[in-house]
Structure 1
Amino acid sequence: MEKLKTKTESIEGDFEITRRNFLKIGGAVTAGIAVSNTVGAGETKTKESGTSPGIEGKIFHSVCPYCAVGCGMKIYVKDNKVVHIEGDEENPINRGSLCSKGNAAIQQIYNDFRVKEPSKKTGNGHWEKILWNDAYNEISEKLKAIRTKYGPDAVGFYGCSHATNEEDYLIQKIARIFGTNNIEHQARKCHASTVGALAPSFGRGAMTNHWVDIKNAKCVFIIGSNIVENHPVGFQWVTEAREKNEAKIIVADPRYTKTANMSDIYMQHRPGTDIALINGICKEIIENKWYDEIYLMNRTNTPFLLNNEGKLIEIKISALPENKKLKIRSGSDNDKAIKIKITGKDENGKDIPFEEISLDGKNFVLSKNKFSFVSKIENEKASGEVEILDEQDKEISKIPAGVKVYGDCYGAYAGVWTAEEMKANKDTVFSKLVEVISPYTPEEVEKITGVEKETIKQTAEIFAKNKPVTILYSMGTTQHTTGVQYIRSYVVLQLLLGNIGIPGGGINAMRGISNVQGATDMGLCHILPANF
């Protein structure tokens, strides 16, 4: 068997990595990034349409396999060989640009170090090439032996986010045929904290907006990321926001990076003090009343009430056992013309329009429609407790006195009615937030983070007066042991300002590989996706 070579052979002979060669390579790569114009200081560069002159071959369209930007590529193939790779000028994400990694993607195919044959480690520590059939047979026999002796869960399968959806589907299929649910890919180690924070906050653990949408921002907050070097083509959208919207760029990073060099404000906080930094900014926003009251009341849980245990007061809304009418009963005869609006489905599964039921001082009233399923209840303020029963007096829901019902059958909670109540009532989520961040004065945050208090105040004001704000982060955030709480603090900041669910806003987790989401959606995780 032939031993694998440890250095590259070329026309010019062997190439050995030395300190001098390494420095030369580093200088060349830096120059290449500068020349590529993907993060230029002037106007945003967009490649003109058309093919590269003088290059022949059939063009195939693909996606760069490296970072999460997912740049479109045009691959030229001639005589069954890739002869050239360039950016796809019709792709809306990169518009023809590629960074140094994308431009070198052809090396994945033709680099001398590419492994083209399976190898087996020998007893002396060397790798020796073996035939494909021998490799398949040995892997299969060993896997079967392990399953027979220890069971299928003794084996774990680790997939790949660089692969296509089709390849990832086959990987998870092999694992499940083998009989185990022990399957993962890169997302577990790079952005598990993103899912742990964004999924309970918004329902999905991914970027809330899109790369192209960054151009709509009027302020870009970059924390835990060196986007200029790690997602260089994605930074063109930050550049475009600055050029077209005069967007402010604010960077928080313990290291002074190329991204920090592009910022209007740079906050060099101590490692591990992100939460204190964000809490200090939130405190400034609250104390100066820069938060969006209407947004908080209509789109967040800040007006919800907490009980003595610090938990939300849930209002149960559930299905009826049979097709019945509803009784509405008030615990107070003083409630005059209290209106209850109920919606749901009839016995045929069709939606029933809102039904308005008024209490006029009687003990109870009966609904006009019959419901097989109640999906939502809306109410007016009542001085006494309101009960919703079926015709057999079985309780469907109970609304405490004086509260507003927020939500539906998937989660309904008691809350206050106005923004003034939200701020004044000590049991609201908003009041608890104010209480939690109260120690984070600019002076205290300066002691913790090392960021000057005037910079913290200035940053908070820029966020408040230059909306929409988008937050960009990546591994500098996720890899902390408290990474979930870092990201949850970003959530609080953006919700206070009303920057979620709007163009140019959001919290955008920049993944390390373009098909992290696809790999997860194809089943490379312990939980099967909903579409399986």
Structure 2
Amino acid sequence: MDTDCVSCGACIQTCPTGALTEKLARFQGRSWEFRKVQTVCPYCGVGCQIELNIKNDKIVKVYGVEEGPDNKGHLCVKGRFGFDYVHHKDRLTTPLIKHNGKFEEASWDEALNLVATKFKELKDKYGSDALAGLSSAKCTNEENYLFQKFIRICFGTNNIDHCARLCHASTVAGLARAFGSGAMTNSIREFERADVILITGSNTTETHPVIGNYFKHLAAYNGTKLMVVDPRAIELTEYAEIWLRQKSGTDVAWINGLMNVIINEGLYNKEFVENRTENFDEFRKVVSKYTPRKVEKITGIPEEKLIAAARMYGKADRGSIVFAMGITQHTTGTDNVLSLANLAMLCGNVGREGTGVNPLRGQNNVQGACDLGALPDVYPGYQKVSEAQVRENFETTWGVKLPPKEGLTVVEITDAASKGEIKGLYIMGENPMLSDPNLNHVREGLENLDFLVVQDIFLTETAELADVVLPGVSFAEKEGTFTNTCRRIQLLHKAI
């Protein structure tokens, strides 16, 4: 049967008679026999509120929480059905120490004593900057805070980073420069107040399905106009009022082209520009070079379609911009983000409901990991490690002397390890042997380390290279908080 069903399971949750049920939950018991625990989905940055149905200390099924602020009961196929890994037989339950190339089980005391001893030896012999740590966007805010504090206090280095470096680091840099904060300027539910939503670099229905479904609903039933700028025919192009198909790598050009038309036709917000922006005259000179005809030659976007798109965004009372890694994972990623920020400011689409510049973050707590300082150049709250007064404040609070030099990024850590400059590495909840670029180079770096510790819930590709592996716990087995893509901090409840 030809259907556009995406197996989200909403029909099961809404079925009034119980005629539909999850395969995994069949014969597991009646609904009233389950202990119900409300918590947060561990997959993407939407941060859906979920209800775990527990029996005999095991997750039987998952429902979406109807009052969930960002998902309103909706879940994607992974959020509803992808929980079996929590009880998988391959979960790590005891520390492992490698002897003669093979892992052997060890006690926690034995493993932790070895970890502490080896890192201290390397620090004493080679110095603090010979050590590094990789934190995790899958772990809680509290875990990320403690990990970066551990690296800075115990290792004595700012060599701390995580996977945001490979996805939205340019977002943090660009939006922090433009607005002072590297995150969504507006909340998810404010999209319903937008007249126009410009979506670029985001295949939303695949990467953030709940938000993607929300966009489809707004286009079909709310009168919201979607503008999609993407080289590919993604699902949202079927719902878009305008679809601009640019050549890859030409994003700054088409954004400047939109602003060129908006300025020339007097569609920009003069009051906002005069009172709340800087260097408009200089900016105007640069943008004036990007005429629709020139932009067509650069990007391949037809002149008339660019003009139509500029008018649609420029005339909207409330315009919202949404982007993801299709914009950021470029050599010009930060410039792409800054250009989108300029477009929003030009039309006064900042600081009001249903407007703004809104990056959709990838993993469930990548926003929180950045906020809590798992980055080489900033402490928690994006306070620069290079600023003396900031550093002094943290030294007073933590009671130690802190290094003034910015640390290495995740890519630089790998490079330094391959050169023998990084001797010891502690990885928590990251799998660079799967996620980082140039895996041969990553393997070379990890294998060249004197000592590698990996903490995870499975024996991952990275963990197999470790000297010591420490078991971690899943989202269902701990308490803490996650920060979703729109900066909503949500409480995680221990369920099992």
Does the alignment reach a TM-score above 0.5? yes
* Superposed counterparts of 1:46-445, under 5 Å: 54-55=30-31, 56-119=33-96, 128-133=103-108, 134-175=110-151, 176-243=153-220, 245-301=222-278, 429-445=279-295
Structure with a larger share of its residues in helix: 2
Contact kept, 8 Å, 2:8 with 2:75, in 1: the verdict is no
Structure 2 unaligned segments of length 5 or more: list them: 22-28, 384-393, 395-496
User: Highest CA radius of gyration, 1 or 2?
Assistant: 1
Deviations 1:460-500 (A, max 9, x none): 11112233111111111111011111111111111111111
Contact kept, 8 Å, 2:61 with 2:81, in 1: the verdict is no
Deviation at 1:179, TM superposition (A): 2.2
Q: Distance in 1 between matches of 2:8 and 2:45?
A: 22
Deviation at 1:266, TM superposition (A): 1.4
Q: Which of 1 and 2 has higher RCO (CA within 8 Å, sep 6+)?
A: 2
* Superposed counterparts of 1:507-526, under 5 Å: 507-526=357-376
Q: Distance in 2 between matches of 1:73 and 1:265?
A: 35
| Distance change (3 Å), C-alpha of 1:442 and 1:161 | same
Match for residue 33 of structure 1?
6
Matched to 1:107, the amino acid is D
Contact kept, 8 Å, 1:269 with 1:451, in 2: the verdict is yes
| Distance change (3 Å), C-alpha of 1:37 and 1:456 | farther
Q: 449, 458, 473: which one pairs with 2:308?
A: 458
Percent identity over paired residues: 38
Matched to 1:130, the amino acid is E
Q: Distance in 2 between matches of 1:37 and 1:250?
A: 27
Match status 1:529 vs 2:380 = yes
Q: Distance in 2 between matches of 1:466 and 1:31?
A: 31
Q: Distance in 2 between matches of 1:223 and 1:50?
A: 41
Deviation at 1:509, TM superposition (A): 0.8
Q: Distance in 1 between matches of 2:130 and 2:38?
A: 41
CA RMSD of aligned residues (A): 2.9
Deviations 1:172-223 (A, max 9, x none): 2322233222212222322111121111211111100011111111111111
Q: Distance in 2 between matches of 1:155 and 1:142?
A: 11
Q: TM-score, normalised by structure 2?
A: 0.69
Q: How many residues align?
A: 370
Q: Distance in 1 between matches of 2:354 and 2:369?
A: 27
Match for residue 11 of structure 1?
none
Q: Distance in 2 between matches of 1:228 and 1:163?
A: 25
| 3-state SS in 2 of match to 1:447 | helix
Match for residue 322 of structure 2?
472
Structure 1 unaligned segments of length 5 or more: list them: 1-26, 39-44, 302-428
Q: TM-score, normalised by structure 1?
A: 0.64
Deviations 1:4-54 (A, max 9, x none): xxxxxxxxxxxxxxxxxxxxxxx99x976255469xxxxxx9969999993
| Distance change (3 Å), C-alpha of 1:58 and 1:50 | farther
| 3-state SS in 1 of match to 2:209 | coil
Contact kept, 8 Å, 1:216 with 1:245, in 2: the verdict is no
Q: Distance in 2 between matches of 1:264 and 1:115?
A: 50
Matched to 2:267, the amino acid is W
Deviation at 1:144, TM superposition (A): 1.8
Contact kept, 8 Å, 1:49 with 1:89, in 2: the verdict is no
Match for residue 494 of structure 1?
344
Q: Distance in 2 between matches of 1:31 and 1:203?
A: 41
Contact kept, 8 Å, 1:158 with 1:185, in 2: the verdict is yes
Q: Distance in 1 between matches of 2:89 and 2:159?
A: 34
Q: Distance in 1 between matches of 2:286 and 2:13?
A: 47
| Distance change (3 Å), C-alpha of 1:47 and 1:281 | farther
Deviation at 1:507, TM superposition (A): 0.3
Q: Distance in 1 between matches of 2:52 and 2:114?
A: 36
Deviations 1:68-108 (A, max 9, x none): 10000111222222222221112111111111121234123
Q: Distance in 2 between matches of 1:47 and 1:95?
A: 13
Deviation at 1:114, TM superposition (A): 3.6
